[in-house]
Structure 1
Amino acid sequence: MLKKLVLIGGGHSHALVLRLFGNKPLSGVRLALITPDIYTPYSGMLPGHIAGFYSYSQCDIDLQSLSNFAHAQLCLDHVIGLDLKNRKVLCANQPTVDFDILSINISSTPTKLSVPGAVEYTIAAKPVAQFLEHWYQLQENAVRNPQKALNIAIVGGGDVELALSILAGVRKLEIYLFQSSKELMPSHHQSVRRIMRDILSNQDVKLHLGERVCEVVKLINKGLTIKCESGLMVTCDQVFWVTHASAGSWLKAAGIGTDDQGFILVNDNLQSVTHPHIFAAGDIAKMINYQLPKAGVFAVHKGNPLYENLRSMILGESLKPYKPQTAYFSLIVTGDGRVLANRAILPLPSHQLWWCWKDCIDRNFMAQSPHQ
């Protein structure tokens, strides 16, 4: 009997799943990918793209070519819900899509609903495609008005790569970085935090640590003012929002087991803890036995085990648990053609050699993707 496998989202895990189904075709399965975009940026090269080291074509994953390679139907649409009883995916602009097995690999979005003005006047770092539209517009404005100095605010100090890449990508720029925690990059070792703080200070990034943004106000002259609980107010031209992530409300509404932020709870097999025929990977998944950061490196690492378990589910075979790395190299792009490498508590100062190493890894990953 023909099995219908539907993939929701064109994230890194699903890009690898499509590649592997293309390399190892499986009979008796009808494969479909539902995603709103034909292209998805590879997160490993995104900071380099913003800083001007890569063109968009060098770091985008062509989902149409991948789908063709995997003999998968590509449905360009937004998913708005699930009918789990009848195993149907509800789409915004086309008929429902039936499934026997479902896999979800979609992006999270920064949480900003509780801050007045944030939804209306700020730009979320995710989804990436939407962020890039605003970034390209900002670059165009800078070219049109080369004498005007732009003031950019980034709310959420965890993404220092974004601040440093933006500085490299646009001249005559001032950046204000707001972080509710008194420590920059609180999830990293203090030695890494110290090095990154020095790098940001040397680039004249204005750090506002321990400041909680409570409102974003649009001014008559089209500028924006950020207001903090402490009374601090900063006027800027653009605000990028990169605070803690959350998931789309339609997931929890569908009845899948999720955590408080709406992320799908999965076991070591990357299966939903409430619906074994549903899998999840990448930002949208929350492994119940591991605390993993929402980083592209883990989405890439989950690609192969996700494929193997989807294949095993189709064939009626036993699934195999995925065991994520407990120690891994964190490569932080500093926007100047250098990278800070960090493993556990051992930071290695930013250097061009680490950039060359990272560049080689990223280009090799992209080279494996089929192109028309």
Structure 2
Amino acid sequence: MAHAPSAAADLVLIGGGHSHALLLRRWGQRPAPAARLTLVTPHTVAEYSGMLPGHVAGLYDRREIEIDLARLAHRAGARLILDRATGLDLRGRRVMLAGGAPLAFDLASVDIGVEAGAGDVPGLADHGLPVKPAARFLAGWQRFADTGGGALAIIGGGVAGIEIALAARRRLPNIAITVIEAAPAMLRELSPRARRLVLARARSGRIALVTGRAVARVGPEGLWLRDGGAIPARLVVAATGGQVGGWLGRSGLAMQGDRMRVDATLRSSHPAVFGVGDCAVLAGAPRPQAGVFAVRQAPVLDHNLRAALAGTGRMRAYRPQRDWLRLIAAGGDAVADKWGIALGGPWVWRWKDRIDRRFMAMLSDPPRRRKPGGISRAP
């Protein structure tokens, strides 16, 4: 039988992903009086992934794409601990922190996102710039753009890599841009028509597309391919998918690959730990890493955490969409893809912009609470 938290339960949110940001907003609207809420995250803000390509393109300033986690926590009455989780003690129900003492919990939820891994490519960790975590990527991109750019190489021909290439083309119209994909085709996650529309935009933007050729190593002057070719680059961006931090895999939770496995209620293999966002995978219904799922998970997570805190009540099941709207940014242009139907044009960008701005406005003006929590920083 699952452990029922005490009347003064501690609920700890580990990570500042989109699901947790939305949960904090909900907590500000309707707090649970019998719980103490804590958010553990190393940063006071989180970058909204949907608007990141627009920032790279110069269409949004940095503040427009930042979710203010400190403000959300304050208005939700949550304590904010600016530190990084490094482990879970499931038996003792403690979160291990990089800079502070372990933090006790009755219930915990993990939403730490992913980081782009260097994989087995020599030199990528030292000379490449991963697209995740976003804060590091944006700092590196800004330095590159501020100094006039130069040749840009992007490893990874999925949506993330192509969006960055198209955004970079708008921001820096005269630089050489190359996208390298080891598989025979790019944008395999899109429908055939959407793939054609996006790749046509890349070609018209003079973006070189290299497929079926794997990267052998990365150095300070560019990258070398396994077949012996070389691509000079002042900046090498890694957009090859994300990996979850190793501490989660060592926590004792059931994993699927490097992601924690959760059931339909978003509960992990331990009854006191839930998981959402890119770091979690739904058993029996895996989905790719995409913000749309994190947004849909938030109300289910909110309901189920309240039910677990109360020790009574029926939990809801999260049912991910079989298909979902993909809006691929193309540097002021965009392509929409769903149900095999794809449309593109500036009007799609305006549609995407309205959706993204509405989402950010909702998070930037949450309702107030009378008793805000405090902020603790790691020493």
The TM-score with structure 2 as length reference comes to: 0.91
Distance in 2 separating the partners of 1:121 and 1:283: 25
Match of 1:326 in 2: 322
Tell me the alpha carbon deviations over residues 222-264 of structure 1, each in whole angstroms, 9 at most, x when there is no partner: xx2311112111111010101132111101111111122x100
Q: Which of 73, 76, 82 in structure 1 is aligned with 2:79?
A: 73
1:33-44 paired onto structure 2 within 5 Å: 33-44=39-50
Distance in 1 separating the partners of 2:299 and 2:347: 29
**Pairing 1:101–2:82 present:** no
DSSP 3-state at the match of 1:206:
strand
Match of 1:54 in 2: 60
Match of 1:120 in 2: 126
The CA deviation at 1:298 is: 1.1
**Number of residue pairs matched?**
357
The CA deviation at 1:199 is: 1.0
1:204-243 paired onto structure 2 within 5 Å: 204-218=206-220, 224-243=221-240
Distance in 2 separating the partners of 1:363 and 1:245: 25
Match of 1:366 in 2: 360
1:295-306 paired onto structure 2 within 5 Å: 295-306=290-301
DSSP 3-state at the match of 1:173:
coil
Which residue identity lines up with residue 338 of structure 1 in the other structure?
Answer: D
Equivalent residues of 2:191, 2:337 under 8 A apart: no
Q: Which of 302, 305, 309 in structure 2 is aligned with 1:307?
A: 302
> Cα–Cα, structure 1 residues 92 and 229, in superposed 2: closer, same or farther, change >3 Å?
same
Q: Which of 157, 177, 180 in structure 1 is aligned with 2:179?
A: 177
Match of 1:150 in 2: 150
**Pairing 1:269–2:277 present:** no
DSSP 3-state at the match of 2:206:
coil
Tell me the alpha carbon deviations over residues 323-356 of structure 1, each in whole angstroms, 9 at most, x when there is no partner: 1111221111110x221011121111x2122122
Distance in 1 separating the partners of 2:70 and 2:164: 28
Which residue identity lines up with residue 167 of structure 2 in the other structure?
Answer: S
Match of 2:200 in 1: 198
Distance in 2 separating the partners of 1:333 and 1:90: 38
**Pairing 1:245–2:239 present:** no
1:276-355 paired onto structure 2 within 5 Å: 276-316=271-311, 317-335=313-331, 337-348=332-343, 350-355=344-349
Distance in 2 separating the partners of 1:169 and 1:304: 37
Distance in 2 separating the partners of 1:103 and 1:112: 27
DSSP 3-state at the match of 1:369:
helix
Which residue identity lines up with residue 213 of structure 1 in the other structure?
Answer: V
Distance in 1 separating the partners of 2:251 and 2:286: 25
Distance in 2 separating the partners of 1:225 and 1:41: 28
The CA deviation at 1:370 is: 4.1
DSSP 3-state at the match of 2:363:
coil
Equivalent residues of 1:268, 1:289 under 8 A apart: no
Distance in 1 separating the partners of 2:29 and 2:112: 23
Gaps of 5+ in 1: 143-148, 219-223
> Cα–Cα, structure 1 residues 329 and 113, in superposed 2: closer, same or farther, change >3 Å?
closer
Equivalent residues of 1:9, 1:104 under 8 A apart: yes
Tell me the alpha carbon deviations over residues 5-64 of structure 1, each in whole angstroms, 9 at most, x when there is no partner: 000111100000000000001111000000011011111111111111111111211011
DSSP 3-state at the match of 1:44:
helix
1:75-90 paired onto structure 2 within 5 Å: 75-90=81-96
Distance in 1 separating the partners of 2:222 and 2:362: 45
The CA deviation at 1:172 is: 2.4
Tell me the alpha carbon deviations over residues 190-238 of structure 1, each in whole angstroms, 9 at most, x when there is no partner: 22222222111110111111111121123xxxxx231111211111101
Equivalent residues of 1:247, 1:284 under 8 A apart: yes
> Cα–Cα, structure 1 residues 171 and 197, in superposed 2: closer, same or farther, change >3 Å?
closer
The TM-score with structure 1 as length reference comes to: 0.93
Match of 1:146 in 2: none
Tell me the alpha carbon deviations over residues 116-165 of structure 1, each in whole angstroms, 9 at most, x when there is no partner: 101111011001011111011112111xxxxxx61011001102111111
CA RMSD between the two structures: 1.3
Equivalent residues of 2:41, 2:83 under 8 A apart: yes
Match of 2:4 in 1: none
The CA deviation at 1:169 is: 2.0
Which residue identity lines up with residue 96 of structure 1 in the other structure?
Answer: P
Distance in 2 separating the partners of 1:36 and 1:169: 30
**Pairing 1:16–2:22 present:** yes
Equivalent residues of 1:69, 1:370 under 8 A apart: no
Equivalent residues of 1:270, 1:280 under 8 A apart: yes
Gaps of 5+ in 2: 1-6, 369-379
Q: Which of 351, 356, 361 in structure 1 is aligned with 2:350?
A: 356
Equivalent residues of 2:67, 2:364 under 8 A apart: no
